[in-house]
Each structure stands twice: as C-alpha cells, then as structure tokens.
Amino acid sequence: MSASSAGRPLTPGEGAVPSGTLITILDDTGTPVALPVESLSNTDRALIHAGTGEAIPIHGIHRAAPASPGFAVHIRADALAPGVPTRDLVLPPDGLVMLDDSADLVPAAALLNSASVTRTNPPDLWWTIDLGSHAVIRANGTAIGTARLPPSPDAARPHTCIPILPPGDALNDHRKRIALRAAEADLPIQANPPPPYAPQPLPKPAPPPDPITIVAAGNKITLAEPEPLAFTCTLPARTGPVRIRSTPRRAADPSDTRPFGVCLTSVKINGAHLDFAAPIFGPGFHPPETDTLTTWRWTNGDAWLVLPYSSEPRALEVVLTNWHHALATA
C-alpha cells in the first residue's frame, strides 16, 4: 500500500534501516528478490506490501547518522509471526511496522518487551529509501513504513499518510500476541531486565533555568505552572520521546556519586498516570523509590521519557518535589 506525494526532505529516523537489511524489490523479470539496502539504486523498484505485486521506483537512497534517543530496536527473527522477520531486524525507535493487514502502522519502540523485541546500540549509519510517497515495503520480510510526508503546501491536494495505530486495546493485543510468541520460543519476559544496551553519551547541555525544561523533537516546549511545582505543556503532533532537563546536582551523601536533577512524584499523559516502574522511563532516570504513602523517581539532570510516537498533540503533566533545592550544584 502507498500514499502518493511529490518529492520532499526526509525526517531522520523515519523508514530507516541499517546496512545489510534485505529490501524486497522486483528484478527485470518481475521476480521478487531481496537485496541489501546499501546495494540499491534509483533503477530499482521496491515491492509494495499489499499482496498485489505492485512496485514503486526508488527515488533515492539517503544516509544519516543515528538519531535521538540514542538506541535502536532489535526485533528477533520470527518475533512478530512465523518467518517475520526472516532474520533479525534493527529499526529506529520511531521506525514504523505493519503487524497485520489493518493498514495501521506501529512505532517499533511501542513493541519493546525485553525478550523478542529489545533495545540495542544504534548502527553507525542508517539508510532511508525515498519512494516519493508514504508506503509499506518489506525489510527482512517485515512490512515497514517508509518516510512519512510533511504537510502539503496545497490545501486542495493534501498528502495522505498511512495511519498510525494509537495506544489502546488494539496495540495492547499486538503486544500480548508478540509476548506469547516470545514465551513459546522460550524467551520469557523479564520483570526487571538490565538495560541490554549502552546508551551513547549525550552532549552535556548548558544548565537550564530551574526547575525543568521539556524538549520534544529537538524543540523546547513552553511550560505552564498552574500549581507550584506542577508543570503542564502540550506536546506537538508527530512527536515521540521527550527529554526532561534540569540543573545537575550532587547528593548530600558523599559516597553517592550519582548526579541528581529533579524528583518526580507524578507524570501524566492526557490525564492518565504513567507507572514509574514502566520502561517508558528511559535513560537518565534513577530507579523508583517509595515509602508508605508516595512513590517518586529522580532524574540525573537529562532524562528520557520514551513516549511512543503520536500523530496527535498530547497533554503532558509533570509534578515535582522541591527536594532538589537541598542539593549542591554539581
């Protein structure tokens, strides 16, 4: 399936695969063949995942360095269905996967389960296939989305993109099915797995004004403070993971050398509380702590909230304590 458009700049991370990923094309005789992405050219035609045998000429092959948030998603062979992928597949966190014929795409990071779909180090180089349209192609036998389209400059002829499956029952059903396949393959889900990757060091940012700064898609988000230390903002459409930045500080105990940023007591997306034990709290968060009344979680001053991609704006609410004021600046 595809959605047509004119040529346009591509967003890093969308539709990207590493070297060695096999992309299915049609050869001169019309026979499907799988070739490494780095060997493709503008004379090739990518086979569209629609069961019709349709193919679209490749407009270009683009190379890009790894994009934030500094990890990739590793989908093991047969993790999604028998023979899907045909061999291990690595995608960016915002890479889009089609899991059935529902015509909806799912961000790869939304499928993480610590067993058959896990985090891994990103490759040194990503390859992105430009078809001049938003389409679904086959990579290692898996249906993945190509780069999405920007807003059309012509309101009378809007671009069409394949829908993204939002969080909800349908996505949860996919996750349960994939987890069941992992269990059947003797890959049990771990309750508290250690991080299977080494996050790439991030440039040390200049300390922002207290207490926090929210960054999404590389842009600082305007915050409101309706109550003391309760910050709200609207995350723009077509964003995924966000960063929570604050001034790094030192613990009062000199034996604890970890950096500390701010202490969160609540995080909500569209009014729904996020579980502090969930893997959505990514690099930069210290382990959750609790007493008889409250659970909280410290950042290290530059923490990733690994939200799944959303095509719609979302309301984010973060509630802090004032405990960071008692710590010395690192």
pLDDT in tens, 227-282: 989 999 999 999 999 999 999 998 877 888 899 999 999 999 999 999 999 999 99
Give the per-residue pLDDT at 266.
96
Indicate if the pLDDT at residue 2 is higher than 50.
Answer: no
Give the per-residue pLDDT at 32.
87
Highest-pLDDT range among 98-102, 163-167, 312-316: 312-316
Indicate if the pLDDT at residue 215 is higher than 70.
Answer: yes
Give the per-residue pLDDT at 284.
95
Indicate if the pLDDT at residue 3 is higher than 90.
Answer: no
At 222, list the tokens.
């305007």
In terms of pLDDT, which residue wins out, 250 or 7? 250
Which residue reads 């530059």 in tokens?
302
Q: Model-level pTM?
A: 0.54
Give the per-residue pLDDT at 99.
85
Give the per-residue pLDDT at 66.
61
Indicate if the pLDDT at residue 294 is higher than 90.
Answer: no
Give the per-residue pLDDT at 236.
94
Highest-pLDDT range among 118-127, 167-176, 263-272, 287-296: 263-272
Highest-pLDDT range among 159-163, 209-213, 252-256, 304-308: 304-308
Q: How confident is the model at residue 289 (pLDDT cuts 50, 70, 90)?
A: very high
Q: How confident is the model at residue 58 (pLDDT cuts 50, 70, 90)?
A: confident
Q: What mean pLDDT do residues 307-326 have?
A: 92
Indicate if the pLDDT at residue 69 is higher than 60.
Answer: no
Give the per-residue pLDDT at 159.
56
Indicate if the pLDDT at residue 124 is higher than 90.
Answer: no
What integer best gives the mean pLDDT of the chain? 81
Indicate if the pLDDT at residue 161 is higher than 90.
Answer: no
Indicate if the pLDDT at residue 308 is higher than 50.
Answer: yes
Give the per-residue pLDDT at 166.
83
Q: How confident is the model at residue 50 (pLDDT cuts 50, 70, 90)?
A: low
- The 3-class secondary structure across the chain, one letter per residue, is CEEECCCCCCCCCCCEEECCCEEEEECCCCCEEEEEHHHCCCCCEEEECCCCCCEEECCEEEEECCCCCCCEEEECCCCCECCECCCCEEECCCCEECCCCCCCEEEHHHHCCCCCEEEECCCCCEEEEECCEEEEEEECCEEEECCCCCCCCCCCCCCCCCCECCCCHHHHHHHHHHHHHHHHCCCCCCCCCCCCCCCCCCCCCCCCCCCCEEEECCEEECCEEEECCEEEEEECCCECCEEEECCCEECCCCCCCCEECCEEEEEEECCEECCCCCCCECCCECCCEECCCCEEEEECCEEEECCCCECCCEEEEEEECCHHHHCEEC
Q: What mean pLDDT do residues 191-218 have?
A: 64
